[in-house]
Amino acid sequence: MAFLLPKRKGEGMAEPETYGTRIERKLDSVQQEVKSLSETVLRSTLMYEQHKSLSEDNAKKIERLDAASQKSEGAITFLKFFGGFAITGILTFCTWIVSSHSTTQQRLAESNQKIAILESKLIRLDTDIAAITHAKKSEVLNEQ
C-alpha cells in the first residue's frame, strides 16, 4: 500500500521512474506472494484430498474389521454352545457306561453265584452217581 502514497515534495524528475520502478517491484513481489500462496493452497488441497481418501479407506477397513469381528464373535458363541453340548453328551455317555458296567458287574456276580451253585450240585450228583455205581457193583458181587 505504501506504493500508492503520493510523492514527497522536493523530489526531482528521476522520481517518477523510481516511483514506477518501485511499483513494478512491488507488483512483482505481490505476484510472487500470490503465486506462493496459490502453490501453498494447491499443496494443501492435495494433502487434504489424500487425507480424505485415506480416511475413507480407513473407514471402509474399519467396517470390514467390525464385520469380521462380529462373525468371529458369532462363531465363538456357536463353538461355546456346541462345546457345551458335546461335553454334556460325553458326560452322559460316560455315566451310561459306568451305569452299564455296574449293572454288568452285578449280573456277572449273580451268574458266578449260580455257576458255583450248579458246580456244587454237579459235584454232589457225581458223588451220588459214584456211590450208586459202587453200591450196585457191591450188590452184584454179593449176589454171586
Residue 7 lies in a domain: no
Residue 5 lies in a domain: no
Q: How many domains does the chain have?
A: 1
Rounded mean pLDDT, 92-104: 89
Residue 89 lies in a domain: yes
pLDDT in tens, 102-131: 888 899 999 999 999 999 999 999 999 999
In SS3 terms, the chain reads as CHHHCCCCCCCCCHHHHHHHHHHHHHHHHHHHHHHHHHHHHHHHHHHHHHHHHHHHHHHHHHHHHHHHHHHHHHHHHHHHHHHHHHHHHHHHHHHHHHHHHHHHHHHHHHHHHHHHHHHHHHHHHHHHHHHHHHHHHHHHHHHC
> Residue 17: its pLDDT value, please?
66
pLDDT in tens, 56-72: 999 999 999 999 999 99
